[in-house]
Structure 1
Amino acid sequence: MNKEAESPAREQRGRVLAALSLEDIAADAAVTVVREVPAYHGHDTGQVRTELLAVLEPVMAFLREERDATAAEQAQFAAFGALRAEQGVGLEPLLEAFRLTTRRAFDALYEQIRRADAPQVGLDLARDFWAGCDRLSAAVVQGHRERELEKAQAAQEHRTLLLRQLLTGDLPTEYLATAATALGLDLRTEYHVCHARPGKGRTIAAVERALRPHTAALLAEPGTDRVIGLTTRPLPARMTLPVGLGSARPLAQLRESLAEAERSDELAVAFDLHRCVRTGELPLHLAVLALPSVGEQLVERCFGHTTGERRTTLVRTVDAYLATDANADQAAAALFVHPNTLRYRIRGLTAATGLDPAHTEDALTLWWAVRHLQATGSGSRS
């Protein structure tokens, strides 16, 4: 546009905008919003009109001054979106109210453009109007989403705190009902605590994903490198990782179940059991962990005559042999060796130590030695 044409066009633009009655537009839009947007049903129309006017006035100022919103003005619209989120107005109804309002404003603007009979000015105004509305609605959306995220994070932190206090027994009895409601639990139901740690290439997130489908509430603690959950029933027999499970207890007694779950998880991890271990399920394994000096003596008794790779091979052979109840064919298949090779190794063990896996006491001695090596990381599982 040349300078000669610029001034008349700007004057025409000013006359079109000056003819608009923002008060009427806001009043009309307020009635429509309260009537058509369910989230605004029951709201005071006068208050809604005031709020809509606060949105329309900056838009018209941008059009009059032919400029974009400043960073400060965009921040004000973001704050408007955040306030609506704080008040519980969802993003969808907020945008619907914004759409209805801008639609009313544009209809009024279009009527003034038509009366002015200035096509080019009208095109410029329409373009600037919608561009300004887009930028401001984006700011509103950003503010709303950020506040919703903050609220969600705060709510999650609150639930995490309640669950942690339930598990540690630090939650006062008078808050049990509040905690149960917040966590979606039932005061009348007893819950098992399950406990798992990442380990061996697994992340906290991977453990959380494995447990979540089976739990009513879940607490991931990266700081202590563990995941704790509550479930109303035992976990599946096979899991993708070691898990400990405590006894079913009322919400007020979860601390005891947690202690059991931790001990069971310790067993599951020590013996690399990729399944759920229930409290009291493996008393002999627990004894192996509790009596390391006994384990060391038995390792010397059973495998002291071998070292290095020979010991590793023999430990794996004995483990497989005991796991199949002394079935040489099945144990050999598990180790991918010929049955005669396995029998030769067992005969060699008996000749060197006097221990015969076919005898119950000798089998228990060998089993204990293998489990001790496994728990201490000094042996290999079949």
Structure 2
Amino acid sequence: MGRHTLDNTMGATAEPPQAAQLRRLLTQLMEQKEQLIDAMTHRSQAAAAGYSAISAATVARTSPVLFDRMIDALGRQSPLNEDDLQVFRDYGKIRAQQGVSLPDIQHSWRVTIQDVLFAITKAGRDLEIPDALLLDTTHQLLALVDQATTAYAAAHREVELELSRRDLHMRADFTRALLLGTLGAAAVRQQADRYGLDPDVEYRAFRTRLTDPDTTDASPWSMRAAASYGLTTVVDGDLAGVLESARTLYTTSTIGIGPPVPLADLPRSFGLAGRALATAETFGRPGPNTLESLGVLPAVIADHDLGAELLRRLLLPLGTDAQAQLLIDTVDRYIDTGMRADLTAAQLVVHPNTVRYRIARFEGLTGTDLRKPHATLQVWWAIRYRETTRRGI
């Protein structure tokens, strides 16, 4: 906007004294526009980190039109119109796309408005503008700034949300590719730094269930909670992710965790996390579960033929009544206590001789000698396999 625009806006003939004074004041500001913009640009870059990351020319590129819109609205003595507001919305979008944060923009604007108010005061004194008119012009400018701030801030947030959603999708895609092994070793190293992963550090994969595959917030251990531990995604309806090997998960949800491996080996860790999850679900073990904590239980559910044979040979001869269940429970507890009849009796609240009687009866019915380690392992395996059949696995 130039001098002729102000003349057209405020009228060139029969101009009231106050309007003429305002026109002179705004014309003076327009004549200083380039100097003001240059000073404000450098002040913004010095005051806000977001602006220092982009060139002065890029910072200044949007300033002239914003300056013109403000001066024009002051000349009209009216609020910003819809066309003006759209200019400020576009400005907010541009700054968001440039990576300048909203707090940095607002801080820059506070610095800029101070410069403009100083320029208005100085020009007013030079032109002998009445203090009342200067005060009124200041109030109008601040009201326009409020309007502009509301417009650019809303547009900035929209772009931020869109960029955030896009980043989440990209992170999820990268995590999925990392876990499924669809990225080559070179691509893994190239992209790892972008997502805060160290190619020289070992990580664990984890996997848990989402109660509703169409709703990522439906799991007791939600996407938001999981994301606080590392990268997350959804694989075949399950919540999955990458965890620093030193991190500990705090949750009561059933989660399978793979062993620590280099980034390029995460598909193996993820596969084992899946086995750990399936095993933990089968045996009703909530919380974080690893192959180390589960022992040989994953093998029990993996080898159905062996489990079925041990069940047929060692447990079916006992029958299926309550007495058979009592013998199995006692033997299970007996093995768990390290073959200690006294500890087993304390846990079952019976006399140790009762435990000894039940153990002897079990051995007699099954032809097993629990003093032999390999026999004890087979009985334990049969009992665990029986659990899977009772759970319908």
The TM-score normalised by the length of structure 2 is 0.71
TM-superposition CA deviations, 1:30-55 (whole Å, max 9, x none)? 2243146333588446x755632311
Match for 2:384 among 350, 367, 371?
Answer: 371
- Residue 61 in 1 paired to residue 67 in 2? no
- Residue 12 in 1 paired to residue 27 in 2? no
**Alignment check: 8 A CA contact 1:219 1:227 kept:** yes
Match of 1:270 in 2: 282
CA distance in 2, matches of 1:22, 1:342: 104
CA distance in 2, matches of 1:103, 1:149: 30
Match of 1:320 in 2: 333
TM-superposition CA deviations, 1:103-150 (whole Å, max 9, x none)? 23233444566744363x555443332122012112222323332333
- Number of residue pairs matched? 361
**Alignment check: 8 A CA contact 2:37 2:64 kept:** no
Match of 2:308 in 1: 293
CA distance in 2, matches of 1:178, 1:33: 35
**What is the 5 A alignment of 1:95-134?**
95-110=106-121, 115-117=128-130, 119=132, 123-134=135-146
**What is the 5 A alignment of 1:163-242?**
163-189=175-201, 191-198=202-209, 203=219, 205-206=221-222, 209=225, 213=229, 217-221=230-234, 224-232=237-245, 240=252, 242=254
- Which amino acid letter does the alignment assign opposite residue 203 of structure 1? S
Secondary structure of 1:286's aligned partner: helix
- Which amino acid letter does the alignment assign opposite residue 27 of structure 1? Q
- Which amino acid letter does the alignment assign opposite residue 297 of structure 1? R
Check 1:305–1:50 CA distance in 2 against 1; reply closer, same or farther (3 A cut). Answer: closer
Match of 1:254 in 2: 266
Check 1:107–1:10 CA distance in 2 against 1; reply closer, same or farther (3 A cut). Answer: farther
The TM-score normalised by the length of structure 1 is 0.73
Unmatched runs of 5 consecutive residues or more in structure 1 = 1-7
CA distance in 2, matches of 1:248, 1:40: 40
**Alignment check: 8 A CA contact 2:261 2:269 kept:** yes
CA distance in 1, matches of 2:61, 2:303: 73
Match of 1:90 in 2: 101
Match for 2:165 among 153, 162, 169?
Answer: 153
What percentage of aligned pairs have identical amino acids?
21
Check 1:35–1:231 CA distance in 2 against 1; reply closer, same or farther (3 A cut). Answer: closer
CA distance in 2, matches of 1:299, 1:18: 105
TM-superposition CA deviations, 1:237-262 (whole Å, max 9, x none)? 99755544445544334323322332
CA distance in 1, matches of 2:173, 2:356: 56
Check 1:270–1:71 CA distance in 2 against 1; reply closer, same or farther (3 A cut). Answer: farther
Match for 2:354 among 338, 343, 347?
Answer: 343
By how many angstroms is 1:15 displaced? 3.6
CA distance in 1, matches of 2:206, 2:74: 61
Unmatched runs of 5 consecutive residues or more in structure 2 = 1-13, 213-217
By how many angstroms is 1:171 displaced? 1.5
**Alignment check: 8 A CA contact 2:257 2:290 kept:** yes
CA distance in 2, matches of 1:341, 1:12: 107
What is the CA RMSD across the aligned residues, in angstroms?
Answer: 4.4
- Which amino acid letter does the alignment assign opposite residue 145 of structure 1? R
CA distance in 1, matches of 2:206, 2:54: 49
Secondary structure of 1:339's aligned partner: coil
Match for 2:30 among 13, 19, 22?
Answer: 22
- Which amino acid letter does the alignment assign opposite residue 112 of structure 2? T
TM-superposition CA deviations, 1:4-53 (whole Å, max 9, x none)? xxxx99872564255212341452242243146333588446x7556323
CA distance in 1, matches of 2:250, 2:139: 63
My pick for the range that moved more, 153-162 or 200-209, is 200-209
Secondary structure of 1:138's aligned partner: helix
